[in-house]
Chains A and B, each alone.
Chain A
């Protein structure tokens, strides 16, 4: 008999809980557990991890029941997420070497690609506006200590 997963969302959520719970519990064993009167650093996380894994087991288990609500996991589109978070990571990588202006421009241009209505023109205009606005507000307005330009140009 093939195992039918009625509620795929719950099934996946339960798996996440089980993996995370087990992971945290095993990790906690690396610290001193102690006893209830003198809880060590591992005590609380160990038991919360155990509870989490148990909740995961219940969630996964009930997703298999025949009367579980049928819910399918949609196939994830990785495109939008990759563009958006890629832009964010790029910003993090570029900020210290290249300064705020260039890293912000990179963030706006890359993340704008995520939209299905993307046009270069709109993205570039948006990038210029946002860079000018952020510089005015954050650097001149509330004086955050962030370099504006690449360090090799500043000196």
Chain B
């Protein structure tokens, strides 16, 4: 079996002492930031990107991936114990998890979240390994026209599935696309929009943009809100769920896993969308739907399994097609480029130990997380007591050192501050930053593929619709848009985002 030999190579790489250590560090950091509300995986990964520069690429990616799925575990702890979603993907966990905690079943709720996440993590790792080869074979059939259409589908999918106002989100994509074009054009050598500033001829620094728009803007908004965060610790006793709990938890976790695995692969999918979808599904399916909101164990198991599965399978489009489907994946593209790895189908053949090592590390990471999380709950709870006024200067310190160290250039620090202002304005006007970042990453790739496609067709745009694969992708894009525009769906979609 090819799959087994691939996984064997992966485990060999992931079990290397250094990689094991970085997987552990990633999971630990991920849990940490997952527990702390107001500090998400996007900010943390942007913060740590420059630091991974000194690591070997495999270790760097293993650590960054650990942060992402580690955050899914950590987020649930805060949701259950403090009724605050530590991450956007654990918003729904807070609903029933906190109710369970209030009824003195905090331990069972935490264990349910952990066990469900672990089940999902194991399945998603296998799915990722199984899908990787066929998907990347498909990718080799892609010409520039197909890649262009795929990116259109990816970008539209990202806004359709994952944001509020559609037109505004499309605007953010376009803004991201043009911002991505700043700097020297590879074909003509013309420095575009650089205003004779030498630093801008290399383009806008990706980390500076992400940190400014996500990190700094988030801090400004949080500080402004003057929310006094209530911190209280519940006694966590009786960690192990009862047999009855298991009987109710396992089917929900299995459904959540399946849902998360599929939704994670879609453009714009990932952890958050999966957890919402799973909660809705569990509520619809349950014979005890009245219990939902009052501490139903299915309401914890399903979404927690779904968000973890979604977090992992969202690596599939990135690793096989080279297309990031959400912001964290866009940051992973940044990490790979820092290490001179071009994301795409060739990664599997050119860097097999990186590819399979990353996948295997996810399974190991899940194992570490369940061991790490349950006994250490007390430590995490203490962390919640660190007041935000002490926490945010620390975040700023790491961001500033990080962004400076990429090029040892203070210009990047100023650019980050400028994007902090932009991010704040976006937040105020209800403009979502995630599509902008995706557009920014895909901008140069889209231009290049369109250029090549049109060069091959001698300037005939119909090449995008006469090639069957490309046409199929564009039809899918139109279908997505049409579906969202349907009145009935529009309404439920708006309701879903209101709950978010």
A contact residues vs B (CB 8 Å cutoff): 9-10, 12-14, 16-17, 20-21, 24, 27-28, 31-32, 35-42, 44-45, 48-49, 51-52, 55-56, 58-59, 62, 71, 73-74, 76-77, 80-81, 84-85, 87-89, 91-93, 95-96, 100, 104, 107-108, 111-112, 114-118, 122-123, 126-127, 130, 134, 138, 142-146
Contacts and interface: CB of A to CB of B under 8 A. Distances in A.
B408 A145 contact: yes
A49 to B, nearest CB: 6
Interface stretch (B15-23, B321-329, B393-401): B393-401
B246 to A, nearest CB: 42
Contacts of B424: 76, 81
A49 B178 contact: yes
Contacts, number: 192
Interface string B176-210: 01100100010110101100000000000000000
Contact of A9 (B388, B396, B429, B446): B429
5 contacts: A48-B181, A52-B178, A59-B168, A89-B414, A123-B393
A88 B396 contact: yes
B451 interface: yes
Interface in B346-402: 387-390, 392-394, 396-398, 400-401
B420 A52 contact: no
B459 A37 contact: yes
Interface of B: 51, 54, 165, 167-168, 170-171, 174-175, 177-178, 181, 185, 187-188, 190, 192-193, 216, 219-220, 223-224, 226, 387-390, 392-394, 396-398, 400-401, 404-405, 408, 410, 413-414, 416-417, 420-421, 424-425, 428-431, 446-447, 450-451, 454-455, 457-461
A112 B424 CA distance: 18
Nearest to A71: B430
Contacts of A81: 220, 224, 420-421, 424
Contact of A62 (B167, B178, B220, B454): B167
Nearest to A88: B417
Contacts of A146: 401, 404-405, 408
A36 B454 CA distance: 6
Nearest to B187: A41
A14 B167 CA distance: 10
B223 A84 contact: yes
Contact of A21 (B174, B425, B450): B174
Given A13-B168, A84-B216, A138-B401, 8 more contacts: A36-B459, A41-B185, A88-B416, A88-B417, A91-B400, A92-B410, A100-B401, A104-B397
B410 A96 contact: yes
Given A12-B429, A20-B175, A88-B416, A115 B401 contact: no
B51 A88 contact: no
B428 A74 contact: yes
Contact of B396 (A39, A73, A87, A143): A87
A80 B416 contact: no
Given A21-B174, A45-B192, A134-B397, A88 B216 contact: yes
Contact of B393 (A17, A36, A107): A107
Contact of A80 (B168, B223, B429): B223
B212 to A, nearest CB: 9
A144 B410 contact: no
